[in-house]
């Protein structure tokens, strides 16, 4: 699967690295970077966003409504789905965080590999013997945190897994927090706890 990334400054760098490391059959073919410092209102987004790209999926880490909305329009004309995590962008797929993406058909192989975590956990003598990550956060936090809890007692590992994810998580920057909704960092921790508990239940 071919992916194009649009980022503001270096805001997509950790996801890019994670996708390149853990994305099976997923290739980032081009990265477009706009300046970190941008005007509050951009009247001519075409000055920043190139329409010269082809891909099967676009990842939007621009975190500027004018640019993200323009990108979504360009991608729609090209028939390419766009994922804009943590924001409300018309025409885009907008999970609450990168690790909150469900099974979205339009996102193809990307959504099968990255998004809401899915695990297989092996327990021996009350300790975590192995964790296999089937699907996780594109920043790589799921895989990195999984390595750190191997050998821990299961009771301790559940919370520790979420904490390790939060140490790595980059969801604090650029994400919107709607009234009554959980902060992205807390959301990330909770979906990982839920995935771990679900894997334990399946393994019994």
Express each pLDDT in 174-192 by its tens digit.
Answer: 555 554 566 888 899 999 9
Q: What is the 3-state secondary structure (H, E, C) of the chain?
A: CEEEEEEECCCCHHHHHHHHHHCCCCEEEEEEEECCCCCCCCCCHHHCCCCCCCCCEEEEECCCHHHHHHHHHHHHHHCCCEECCCCCCCCCECCCCHHHCCCCHHHHHHHHHECCCEEEEEEECCEEEEEEEEEECCCCHHHHHHHHHCCCEHHHHHHHHHHHHHHHCCCCCCCCCCCCCCCHHHHHHHHHHHHHHHHHHHHC
Express each pLDDT in 54-82 by its tens digit.
Answer: 999 999 999 999 999 999 999 999 999 99
**173: pLDDT strictly greater than 90:** no
Task: Give the pLDDT of residue 203.
Answer: 67
Task: Give the pLDDT of residue 164.
Answer: 94
Mean pLDDT, residues 21-26: 94
Can you list the domains of the chain with their CATH numbers? 2-113 (3.40.50), 118-203 (3.90.1010.10)
pTM: 0.91
């Amino acid at each position: 699967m071919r992916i194009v990334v649009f980022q503001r400054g270096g805001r997509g760098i950790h996801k890019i690295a994670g996708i390149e490391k853990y994305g099976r059959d997923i290739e980032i073919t081009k990265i477009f970077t706009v300046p970190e410092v941008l005007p509050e209102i951009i009247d001519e987004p075409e000055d920043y966003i190139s329409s010269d790209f082809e891909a099967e999926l676009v990842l939007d880490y621009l975190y500027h409504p004018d640019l993200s909305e323009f990108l979504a329009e360009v991608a729609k004309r090209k028939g390419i789905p766009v994922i804009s995590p943590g924001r409300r962008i018309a025409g885009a797929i907008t999970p609450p965080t990168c690790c909150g993406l469900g099974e979205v058909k339009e996102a193809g192989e990307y959504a099968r590999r990255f998004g809401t975590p899915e695990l297989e956990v092996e327990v021996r003598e009350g300790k975590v013997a192995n964790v296999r990550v089937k699907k996780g956060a594109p920043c790589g936090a799921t895989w990195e945190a999984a390595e750190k809890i191997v050998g821990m007692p299961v009771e301790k590992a559940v919370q520790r897994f979420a904490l390790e994810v939060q140490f790595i998580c980059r969801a604090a920057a650029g994400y919107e927090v709607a009234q009554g909704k959980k902060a992205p960092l807390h959301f990330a921790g909770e979906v990982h706890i839920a995935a771990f508990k679900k894997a334990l239940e399946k393994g019994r």
